[in-house]
Structure 1
Amino acid sequence: MPCLACGAFGARGLCSRCSATLSSAPERRVGNVTVRPAFGHDGAARLLVHRLKYSGFAAAAGPLSRAMARLLPADCAALVPVPRVTARRWAYGVDPALELARRVGRDTGLAVVEGLVPELWVRHRAGAAGRRRGIPTFRRIAELPPAAVLVDDVVTSGVTLSRAGAAARLTRAVTATAGIGP
């Protein structure tokens, strides 16, 4: 079986070389949201996120979601994915946060509540260059338990998670990876 990150044969999940590149990332605060990333946005973690986000390779979510599940607070009541902007979901055929939330939910038995909807389109470019982009907005469409946790694929500047947290009225999140902060 090929490595989910690099494709080397003989691996079950991730090969030892890719596993060795997984780095931790510190908890951080963005707006009112405390974010716990599973990994830094480099090495195999970056490749897995990229394969999930831009190629729709759902198996790449497995190693990420297992690490994310270990970061959930003990009182977590439900998982709320931060939805991808509609135009990008259509273009790439996948909502990475929803895929990750579903896998974390399967691993933990927690319900996934699709309680936010995004706007149709936002100029893309995450990270430092993204400060010039349009700011994503979300609308809450469901009642969410106060102990629910937001789920997203990547946190960079934190604008998206901060806006989602404000709309959902939630203050905790787990992400697959964290890039360079603001």
Structure 2
Amino acid sequence: MAPLHPSVRDALAAALALAFPTWCAGCDDPDTALCADCRAALAPPRLIPHRRLGGLDVHSALEFDGVAARVLRAFKEEGRTTLATALAPALAAALGSCGESTAVVPVPSTAAAVRRRGYRPVELLARRAGARPWRLLRVVRASADQRGLTRAARAQNVAGSLEAAPAAAGRRVVLVDDVVTTGATLAEAARALRAAGAQVVAAATVAATPRHGARLSGM
């Protein structure tokens, strides 16, 4: 096949851009899924900080703010699954700070969320980060939206909402989620796994919401 004339190729590219517009998930720049500056903003630091929440060490590579927050929302709520590749290095770095495990276990999505999205965001991130996700947790009770709830209300909202599979018994587990806020969901996941006989080593997330008076990088 003869190559397309440049003018024809440019016209086709322009038509595709009109039919399927693309914009940067981090800053809205046109004609790119993620610009170079926003991609650089997702690079994990050399030292991955951690915080202890609910008796669990949680390692998070990024602060859930600015570019990281926008890209995670686009990945999770807008179906832009290709962004998982750009987010994966941050999760891989956080996982690398957690110590050895025999199973990387994602916090599960509800059945309704899986139907709505058509994919499991945390599992996809784990795979892109080079891990093999184990489905050892399932949602057994629906909980309300956590947004706007106090720390205590969040913990009460998710209490008893998860159950671990018998296959969790005897395994050293690292929990994985996209974002941690108060740690209530991770604490519930750890409780369910420990009840099934697992040893929960730590948790890893792409990002963590900033604490008042402290930046994530300074933890």
Equivalence for 1:138:
162
The counterpart of 1:176, out of the listed 206, 210, 213, is 206
TM-score normalized with structure 2 length: 0.68
Shift of 1:37: 0.7
Query: In the alignment, does 2:112 pair up with 1:91?
Result: no
Distance (whole Å) between structure 2 residues aligned to residue 177 and residue 152 of structure 1: 9
- The aligned amino acid for 2:87 is L
Equivalence for 2:176:
151
Shift of 1:29: 1.1
Equivalence for 1:49:
72
What SS is found at the alignment partner of 1:162? helix
Does the 8 Å contact 1:86/1:120 carry over to 2?
A: no
Q: Deviations over 1:83-124 (max 9, x none)?
A: 0233333333333212212222xx2xx432100001352110
What SS is found at the alignment partner of 2:172? coil
Q: Runs of 5+ in structure 1 lacking a partner? A: none
Q: 1:56 to 1:130 in 2, by over 3 A?
A: farther
Q: 1:12 to 1:88 in 2, by over 3 A?
A: closer
What SS is found at the alignment partner of 2:60? strand
The counterpart of 2:133, out of the listed 93, 104, 112, is 112
Of stretches 29-38 and 156-165 in structure 1, the one that deviates more from structure 2 is: 29-38
Q: Larger % of helix: which?
A: 2
Q: Deviations over 1:106-163 (max 9, x none)?
A: x2xx432100001352110236557545225210014236332111011001100001
Shift of 1:16: 1.3
Distance (whole Å) between structure 1 residues aligned to residue 148 and residue 180 of structure 2: 8
Shift of 1:76: 3.0
Q: Deviations over 1:3-61 (max 9, x none)?
A: 45335357685421563477867311111321101200011110121012211221122
Query: Between Structure 1 and Structure 2, whose CA radius of gyration is higher?
Result: 2
% identity of equivalent residues: 28
Equivalence for 1:63:
86
The counterpart of 1:29, out of the listed 52, 55, 59, is 52
Q: How many residues align?
A: 178
What SS is found at the alignment partner of 1:70? helix
C-alpha root-mean-square deviation of aligned residues, in Å? 2.9
TM-score normalized with structure 1 length: 0.80
Q: Runs of 5+ in structure 2 lacking a partner? A: 1-21, 195-199, 213-219
What SS is found at the alignment partner of 1:177? strand
Query: In the alignment, does 2:103 pair up with 1:78?
Result: yes
Shift of 1:2: 5.6
Q: 1:97 to 1:167 in 2, by over 3 A?
A: same
